[in-house]
Amino acid sequence: MARMSWKAALLTFLLMGFGCKSADEKLDDLHRSTDDRGRLDLGIYDAGLLVHEGFATLIEAEQLSLGQLGRAIHDCALILDGNEFGLCRADAVSALTHLATRFPLVASAQPLEVHPTLNQHALGQVELLDTAARLLNTPGLIGALQDADKVVAARALRELRTLTKQDFGMAPGRWNEWWLANAAQQMRQCVSDSQEPLRNLARLRFTSLAQARSVLGYLAARSSATDVAELRAQCAPTIAALARQVLVLGLQKALSDKDPAVRWEAYRGIGVVQDPCLAASLNSCWAQENSSEGRVRLLQATACFPSKISLATHLLALGEDDRAVMLTAHAGLQRMTGEDGVAEERWWLQWYERRGKNLWP
């Protein structure tokens, strides 16, 4: 008993310590606790607990900046994409769903562009953004001129000469004078040069979760790092558009996860988000669900998208011996069709022959 009390006290102490951290610090913990493939970093003590704490922060957060939101969705997608533990992947799906409802991520009103060379095109837009933002590094480079490491100072001078087309040598004062006189113009130029690549990225349809989350992570970091309000505002619609794509691609990926808990969280998430893009992804899921709980959750999600296929899935499930599955199928049929039929397979099959087969093309 004393041993258990000691463990409980230690856990309480640890949780109190985590509770004192800011949202940014917990998000830092979430990011640092995994490697670049989303797996737990075993070199960090209690990496799993830190990931859990990070997810809890996202769920409890009253507000997040756009940079924080983009960063959080990126990290959830990274863990979903590559973490070795089903519990972490399921928590990532749950957090994604929560973020989508707490901070609505509206689907694009315009058709997205399917680009024939997607990776190269997206990378090209990112490079244009990098080029546009390079001049904003000037203050940091001026400070680096006084670095004790002469190699660092010399590199900073070379970069300053390249960026500004000026040469004031190693005198920080002259460089600062130039920057004070030109900063406003350079910032306006940066904002102007960023407009087109940001619009282009927002229009792209990404085909994989890894592609979309990588670009989102870059833009979220860019938005968080700049103190130029106009640039943050300019990044906002692109971050929101990419975050929505990451959400949809993440839920689609989770549907084929080998761990049932991850798939079940995906079904719940799809039922909450109800994006029409997700309807077709549910069509092949029935065969992989053998448990009552899995089939119930799948049927609940499928009922959100009335169609011939979802109708057929519910009619099939209505003949199941499992009562929970049968009753869920019955409720789904009533919801999709508006019919007040009884919970009997025969009644619904007769209704299908009379009317149901003509409801949807």
User: pLDDT tens-digit profile of 306-339?
Assistant: 999 999 999 999 999 999 999 999 999 999 999 9
Structure confidence at residue 13 (pLDDT): 36
- Model's pTM, two decimal places? 0.85
9 vs 326, residue with greater confidence: 326
Mean pLDDT over residues 170-198, rounded? Answer: 92
Mean pLDDT over residues 195-223, rounded? Answer: 94
What does the DSSP assignment read for 43-78?
TSTTHHHHHHHHHHHHHH-S---HHHHHHHHHHHHH
CB atoms within 10 A of CB 325: 22
User: pLDDT tens-digit profile of 263-294?
Assistant: 999 999 999 999 999 999 999 999 999 999 99
Residue 254 has pLDDT above 70, yes or no: yes
Q: Is 38 exposed, middle or buried (0-12, 13-18, 19+ CB in 10 A)?
A: buried
